[in-house]
Amino acid sequence: MDALKVLAPKQRVLVVEDDRRMLELVCNGLREAGHTPMAASDGEAALELAMKFSFDSIILDIGLPVRDGYSVASCIRAAKSVPILMLTARDGEDDILRGFDHGADDYLTKPFSFRELLARLNVLSRTVDRCRDSEIRLDASRLVVHRDQVAIQLTRNEYLLLKALYLHLGSAVDRHVLRKAIWGSLEEVSGNALEVLVNGLRLKIDAPFPNKLLITVRGVGYRLLTNPAEQTSDLRL
């Protein structure tokens, strides 16, 4: 816990969970880690708080009374860019993809360790800081990426690939991590499916522009640059 306190900046976090015990545990843990949580136990109350106050991140359960987490995420994402970490007892690929489609930035399957929850919040916080200087912006509700004020339509898999890279903006992401983010545990995906998808994404987000952002990291995977100045000699297009 102490190590995570050092790594993670203090955040104001909206925690939305209808299980009272889980809600209390998460809020107490966040306070111990130096964060400031605000709690909601149903979707309508969560949406009201999200619209009224400014949060650094939102922890959002899917199975909520009154209004489910998908609906809440969609409404928040239409109005704000705050990072949303979705909690779910559903580990099916369709449920996870549905969460991304409704604006979630990351997900965590129950049961989970609190250390992992804090680590994911930390990653989301760092990503937001880096994204302020990024040339691209994602629009989850429409599967669109904006680069230099140009709207670029993506397929669902292209969006999931870009999303996975965007969550680690500026850092190399392993091919296995990317495959899992896009296809889950599907074993029938062909060996070069990721490379084909990357090439298609490059044609859309890099080819029309003078500066390239999606690069290959030899022996690792791929990296999405915050800006072209980050490119170094150990990377190739």
- CATH code for the domain in which residue 115 is found: 3.40.50.2300
Indicate whether 123 and 9 sit together in one domain.
yes
Binned average pLDDT, 10 residues per bin, the chain of 237 residues: 49 93 94 93 95 92 92 88 83 71 82 88 69 66 80 90 84 88 72 92 92 91 76 45
pLDDT at 139: 73
Q: Tell which of 105, 130, 155 closes a domain.
A: 130
Q: Tell which of 93, 108, 130 closes a domain.
A: 130
Written as one letter, the residue type at 202 is R
**Structural domain that includes position 66:** 2-130
Indicate whether 138 and 110 sit together in one domain.
no
Written as one letter, the residue type at 210 is P
Indicate whether 12 and 116 sit together in one domain.
yes
Does the model's pTM come out above 0.85? no
- Chain centroid to Cα 53, Å, comes to 21
Q: Tell which of 110, 130, 150 closes a domain.
A: 130
- CATH code for the domain in which residue 178 is found: 1.10.10.10
Indicate whether 12 and 120 sit together in one domain.
yes
Indicate whether 126 and 151 sit together in one domain.
no
Indicate whether 188 and 75 sit together in one domain.
no
Indicate whether 118 and 167 sit together in one domain.
no
Distance CA 47, CA 143 (A): 23
Written as one letter, the residue type at 28 is N
Total number of domains in the chain: 2
Indicate whether 125 and 138 sit together in one domain.
no
Indicate whether 106 and 221 sit together in one domain.
no
Written as one letter, the residue type at 166 is Y
Indicate whether 15 and 121 sit together in one domain.
yes
Indicate whether 9 and 120 sit together in one domain.
yes
Which SS3 state, helix, strand or coil, does residue 125 take? Answer: helix
b/e map of 143-164 (b: 16 or more CB within 10 Å)? bebebeeeebebeebbbbbbbb
Indicate whether 18 and 121 sit together in one domain.
yes
Nearest by Cα to 66 from 48, 80, 91? 48
